[in-house]
A and B are shown apart, each in its own frame.
Chain A
Amino acid sequence: MSKLRWLLAIFLAMAALPGTGAAQVRGAVTGQVVETDSRRPIQGAQVRVAESGLVAVTDAQGRFQLQNVPAGARTLQVSRVGFKPGSAQVTVGATPANVTVSLQTDALGLEELVVVGYGEQRRREVAGAVSSLRPTSDVTVRDAPISSVNEVLQGRLAGVQVFQNSGTPGAAISVRVRGSASLNAGNQPLYVVDGVPMIQGNFSANPQTSFGGQGIDAISDLNPKEIESIEVLKDASAAAIYGSRASNGVVLITTKHGSAGRPDISFGGYYGTQEAWRRLNYLNAEQYTQVYNEGCVNRYGAPCVTLTTQAAAASPVPSSVANTVRAVPGVSTDWLDQVLQTAPTWSLDGSIRGGTERARYYVSGSAVNQDGILRAQGYQRLNGRLNLDYVPTTRLTLGTNVALAQGIMQRARSDNTIYGALPNAMANPPIQPVYTNSGDYYETLYVNPVGMLNESEAEERSLRVLGNTFARYELADWLNIRGSVGLDNLTNRSRAWDSPNFGPWAGSGGAAGSGTYFVSRVTYEGTANFNRAFGSNHDFSGVVGASLEDNTQEQEQVQGTQFPTEFFKYVTSAATIASGTTTRADYNLVSYFGRLSYTFADKLTTTFNLRTDGSSRFGANHRYGTFPSASVLYRLGEEPFMQSQNILANLALRASYGRTGNQQDIGNFASRGLYGGGYNYTDQPGIAPSQLANPDLRWETTDQLNLGTDFSVLNDRVNFTFDYYDKRTKDLLVNRPVPQTTGFATITSNIGAMKNVGYEVSTRVRWLQGSSRGLSWSTDFNLSHNRNEVTELYNNQPISSGFASRVEVGQPIGYFYGYVTEGLFQNTSEICLNSAGGAACAGKHAYQGSSRTAPGDIKFKDLNGDGIINAADRTKIGSPWPDFEGGITNTLSFLGFDATAFVQFSQGNDIFNGNRIYSDRYGSGGDNHTTRALQRWTPQNTNTNEPRAVWGDPNLNTRNSDRFVEDGSYWRLKNAVVGYTIPTRMAQRLSFRSARIYVQGQNLITHTKYSGFDPEVNYAGQSSTTRGTDFYTLPQARTVSFGFNVGY
């Protein structure tokens, strides 16, 4: 109800608008805007007549024309992104006035407006650590076949670490702003689009298919082509105004808006092909047979793989082993060839922006299509956007931003499942064929991957409505009030079908299911922005406001089994409804916030932020949390003594300290003691205790210190930004283990602490800066270093996750833990077969539980020297976190040609290659091996680190050890673009304003020592506790595409 009243208040405020003024004498002004040094005309500059609301935009010759300007002495204010603002005095009368205004290039962007929380600031007054990106002005973003805003961020902003978890089209991407600050409560930043906090997360309602770690993310509905600017708020000073959701940083996205002037129509598109950039080499049938027979001989004294059709004679090999590796004579299957493909990708997009002084518009539409390099996968998306601004009177602006998106994603089981096509193509023996002689799927060791792709479907269809409507009224020239209502609405429909004709589902007669997730967020927000100067030296600006956010999530799922034939794919034809469920959850957030910024003499800026959040998720004893921050910016470069030297320019020093929170994934009712329903028996309803109460539950708290500096040298040709931060997170939300004799495994508690300390450098070098068609060359470089350390856990008990990942005090989150290898046993005298250890084993290696260790097996280090190898001999064997990461972009242009190369790198991180647990278990289990198996130990080949082949792996050579920890450092030519812009005159003859064609390559070169498919890998998706682990994960694609951009 209160929302309605509140809306009413906005309309009341709007109703009280002043009328237009009385008629006056008017005249015309024409002129030109040029660049100061080169006198080149500047297109697209906005010329505004002060205190009149009249605006014009310059054309390609830099010319503008203003009609109906009130007579008298007027000031023209001229602005253009990339230039320092300029102004000119003009006397308007009966005869048209003519004026030329020159603008200075703003190489450092200091005059640009930067979007900060609930407002804008000039870059030169931003005291916090804010990184900005304009996707459309960066060709490696604009022309690359990337569909997600998170891909845009990768490698381009210092301190923003983006990991592609796999090559799955449309799948979620991990983003970390200044490292991971949480164990369980989520580590993705908060995304705010045009002021509306966006729904994010995985809302797949698929009832029956497992996708391992490769989830979907509601962020992918956003089209990067619609984005004007992205600001990432990294430190507490910038982010604290987003309070209890800002610990992981805030990504502010501003979409494009129209500007007054001739319609600007652009159109673009590309077509390309993708393929896996690397193939792993697996054994062929002959090599496989040899390794397995060796494994069986070493264990049972007889070979087990026979390539003849004769019935096996009596053999000491157990039939279960012989059955596992049963061969079909004459077969050597390359399974990866059967599931991977060269896949097309294309995109088309168009937009119009324009308007008048009173009404401005931006309309865009785009279509993206990406087929997967794994057959059966694919992603298609349609986007449309309409952004309108209407100025009914000089003081009032009404606006609306509306985006519609439809995403369709074809998915396949992946990663950690024995039904995945890629995992099974990697693991299946080459001695088994795809089809039997009668054309059925051959029953392979692991479910036939070709059958998996052909006989199974999984699809997500999402419909997204994201928009807001606002009214802004200028109460005084220093005070605006703004009210807005934002809506983010996601409907995600999931469907799955598994054929009754195929192995795993034959038993249940096929399975099909559908699910829907309906997620909505309505945001009501009221703010007052002020900006007032007192005298020439005292500037005050800031904002106060309040907001209310209503969230609703509804989910329904139904699944059926027992289908008549494979042609029936929907539950309506099922004989059995195996499950059906609907659920709903609500949570709300009430917030009050403010910012006060004071600038003295354009030199010293101090900013204070404060936000109070009340959340329905917090426990009864902690309903509200308060998040303050403060920062100081000293523009030392403005001091006279700095002006007298010309080595260092624009020197600024920044410091900030503040507090932010995190309440992602806390659970909507985690603080309450609950009895859950659904504990049914004999088809009667039942209830059972489901959760222990914790009324003290609250948000995670991060205190962050930021010290930074910006400066430029060589006449602004080179500029630097450097930041150091120290980020301490406490009250970590942990599902703290409790004795299970209580009937519960965990209780959600605020226990634990973590710190992230690091620094970031970014620099831009303008080596050469020619005129419009002359040679110019610039380089952007950014580098980040982050050190994470867990400083407190419940009872300081370590937590294990994934394969070898572990969280422990004093170590980085998710470090790798396991045994240490020290070569192979070369003779029996080193081995003690008494698996209990003890005195008889003195001086030898005894393995707990193993009585079959033999030469060729791995010697694991007895770290505690107790004479027996057991769980106590595990230690740190690696870390998934890099020492350094970053990116380098080189941009060259000459005579209409442009070339851009973007290299992204990561140095010092390890990868736990979990594939090898199975693929390097030589001669055991039936899995195919990579050609690394050819280096295995044999009595003839003893100078190696690869262990012997033996069925059953009795020594557990494949236990989690440093054997599988590999250097995951890499550098990658992420994008290279070469384009040609047709000369303006020729373009105009073809009735284009501009036209450009280009060829683009993605992931063209990758340099890494990692032996798996791809060093950009996380089988567990966005998880921070299980990081940098490869487990049958789909690699990135290498893409080559051709495209064009034209403007009218």
Chain B
Amino acid sequence: MKTKYLAWVAAAVLLAGCDSSLDTNPTASIDAETALGNARGIELGLTGAYRGLQRSGLYNQELMVLPDLYADNLDFSGTYSTHQEISLRNVSAANAALSDAWSQSYAGINRVNNVLSAIPKVTDMSEAAKGQARGEGLFLRGLFYLNLVRYFGGVPLVTEPSTGVDESSFVSRASLQESYAFIEKDLEEAASLLSAARADGRATKGAANALLARAYLEEAKYTQARDKATAVIGSGTYQLVANYRDLFTSKNSSESIMEVQYSVNNSNSQAFWFFPQALGGRFGYTPSASLNSAFEAGDTRKAASIGTSGASRYGNKYFRVANGDDDVFVVRLAEMYLIRAEANAQIGADPATVRADINVIRRRAGLADLPTTVTSKQALLDAVLQERRVEFAMEGQRFFDLRRLGRAQAVLGITESRLLFPIPQGERDVNPNLAQNPGY
């Protein structure tokens, strides 16, 4: 009898030795403390930060759409109230597209901050490699912040990686000037660190300068905007493509300064949302009648931008609906010409200089030069605005152009309080330190 008791006791004791089975490990993640500990980790982390550009609220969809839908380039034709609100210019603070843009931008910024803070601690990297990596990180952070600032105005400036949640996580907004100053600083340092050679889909000196030109123009720092645009044009690294449509049918063309890269394994939904159902899309929005008629006769950009299916117009810049692998422009050379034209017009430079830059863009589109009678500042700015509208339709510029040139209220019929998007309500619910934009 005794042996049987012992067998039972032995069984229980053996079971008790199973504690080690509680130590299981994930198979698709690694612990945060060790992830960025060496050169390979920095490389992987930077790649992850670039990936941050590809999310739905950013270059995957909304960044190319919202500024056109909120303005007069796109009409709503879908079912989602998110986009309907944007097209009605009556945006609620709970709008999902805006909270996506907010959260996804800051997720990207956190990825960059992790990399930036890890670089100095890594021992198996050369100083040159560290400089390049830091430059790419700073470029990305500047880009994330520039997109945020154009939507929301001054935003919280987060510069350190998040490891948990404490008092310091409840940040407040910086002013618009402070925000732009921060962006300038990141991008200027990035431009000084980055290589000038072309690198498809990645940060380069030219890309940093191009973003600086865009930022300075938004800030009305016209001479800096002009100089940065000139630097990019004059670098010789980029040339306009002869045929406008080639910008979209071929990837990483000579005109591309930076475009977010997509492949079949890493796809976006631009074409899906622009295309009509008959062509396999969702048709969330459609080019407006006013955009359609904004193209002058003979403009080759019209057919390259707008297609028709039955009775419907649809945007066809992004057309790889099957695989979703259209690249999406962050910035391209044509914008540098038009930034320089606009800056020169604002500065009061020789109208011929201004027209010359605009004409570069018009000739490529198969249009005649601007009449030499276009000489007044207002007429020149009007010409820039018109040219930008048809050149960058569905590339996420229109609303910012109207706002920067003081036309948004008149053209879109909105009040001043609608010149900025609301800070996402969900974020303000969590963080009471965030002030809302006036009028929301």
Contacts and interface: CB of A to CB of B under 8 A. Distances in A.
Partners in one complex: yes
Interface of A: 2-3, 5-6, 9-10, 12-13, 16, 318-320, 323, 326, 418, 443, 447, 473, 475, 481, 483, 503-509, 524, 526, 528, 545-548, 550, 561-562, 576-579, 583-588, 590, 592, 614-616, 623, 668-669, 672-693, 737-745, 747, 797, 849, 871, 925
10 contacts: A319-B311, A481-B4, A524-B15, A528-B8, A576-B323, A674-B30, A677-B28, A681-B47, A687-B44, A689-B114
A738 B31 CA distance: 21
A418 B79 contact: yes
B266 interface: yes
A509 B322 contact: yes
A675 B280 contact: no
A558 to B, nearest CB: 12
A6 B165 contact: no
A507 B272 contact: yes
Given A9-B7, A443-B277, A674-B26, A688 B48 contact: yes
Given A668-B24, A673-B32, A686-B50, A743 B10 contact: no
Contact of A681 (B36, B41, B201): B201
A192 B5 CA distance: 28
B165 A747 contact: yes
Contacts of B47: 679-682, 684-687
A737 B428 CA distance: 11
B45 interface: yes
B24 A739 contact: no
A739 B431 contact: yes
Given A546-B15, A681-B266, A687-B35, A503 B280 contact: yes
A547 B15 CA distance: 7
A737 B426 contact: yes
A740 B79 CA distance: 27
B16 interface: yes
A2 B13 CA distance: 10
Interface centre among B18, B52, B110, B162 (most CB of A within 10 A): B18
Interface in B40-66: 41, 44-52, 54
B51 A475 contact: no
B322 A473 contact: no
Given A590-B21, A692-B165, A740-B430, 13 more contacts: A9-B14, A443-B278, A481-B4, A505-B280, A583-B27, A583-B28, A682-B200, A683-B263, A687-B45, A688-B45, A689-B162, A691-B29, A741-B158
Contacts of B41: 687
Nearest to B109: A743
A12 B8 CA distance: 10
Contacts of A506: 278-280
Interface centre among A318, A319, A548, A743 (most CB of B within 10 A): A743
B52 A688 contact: yes
A323 B323 contact: no
B22 A323 contact: no
B286 interface: yes
A238 B265 CA distance: 52
B272 to A, nearest CB: 7
Contact of B321 (A326, A508, A681): A508
A548 B22 CA distance: 10
A687 B322 contact: no
A745 to B, nearest CB: 6
Contact of A686 (B5, B18, B45, B107): B45
Nearest to B77: A320
B430 A738 contact: yes
A548 B18 CA distance: 8
Contacts of A685: 44, 47
Contacts of A507: 271-272, 275, 279-281, 321-322
A693 B164 contact: yes
Contacts of B275: 507
A473 B11 CA distance: 14
Nearest to A590: B18
A459 B48 CA distance: 35
Contacts of B162: 689, 692, 742-744
Interface of B: 1, 3-5, 7-8, 10-12, 14-19, 21-33, 35-36, 41, 44-52, 54, 75, 77, 79, 90, 92, 94, 99, 102-103, 106-111, 113-114, 156, 158, 161-165, 169-171, 200-202, 261, 263-267, 271-272, 275, 277-281, 286, 289, 310-312, 321-323, 424, 426-427, 429-431
A748 to B, nearest CB: 12
Nearest to B22: A616
A681 B261 contact: yes
Given A506-B278, A682-B261, A675 B35 contact: yes
Contacts of A745: 103
Given A16-B3, A678-B28, A682-B200, A562 B164 contact: no
Nearest to A692: B164
A456 to B, nearest CB: 14
A524 B103 CA distance: 45
A738 B165 contact: yes
Contact of A742 (B21, B24, B110): B110
Contacts of A547: 15
B7 A16 contact: yes
A814 to B, nearest CB: 19
Contacts of A504: 277, 280
Contacts of A319: 289, 311
B263 to A, nearest CB: 6
B51 A679 contact: yes
A586 B23 CA distance: 10
Given A623-B22, A681-B261, A687-B35, A676 B280 contact: no
A323 B278 contact: no
A685 B109 CA distance: 19
B386 to A, nearest CB: 23
A583 B278 CA distance: 36
A576 B264 contact: yes
A832 B40 CA distance: 63
B26 A578 contact: no
A456 B369 CA distance: 54
Contacts of A692: 162-165
Contact of B265 (A674, A680, A689): A680
A6 B14 contact: yes
Contact of A561 (B16, B50, B75, B323): B323
Contacts of B8: 13, 475, 481, 526, 528
Contacts of A590: 15, 18-19, 21-22
Contacts of A737: 426, 429-430
A10 B11 contact: yes
B17 A2 contact: yes
B15 A548 contact: yes
Contact of B15 (A6, A679, A681, A689): A6
The 9 closest A-B pairs by CB, nearest first: A507-B280, A743-B110, A686-B47, A688-B48, A679-B48, A675-B35, A686-B48, A673-B32, A507-B321
B19 A797 contact: no
Nearest to A584: B27
A550 B20 CA distance: 12
Contacts of B171: 739, 741
A555 to B, nearest CB: 11
A780 to B, nearest CB: 43
B26 A669 contact: yes
Contacts of A13: 4, 7-8, 11
B169 A741 contact: yes
A443 B44 CA distance: 46
Interface centre among A546, A583, A679, A685 (most CB of B within 10 A): A679
Nearest to A588: B21
Given A506-B278, A797-B429, A585 B7 contact: no
Contact of B21 (A616, A677, A678, A747): A616
A481 B280 CA distance: 65
Contacts of B266: 680-681, 683
Contacts of A623: 22
Given A508-B322, A576-B264, A526 B7 contact: no
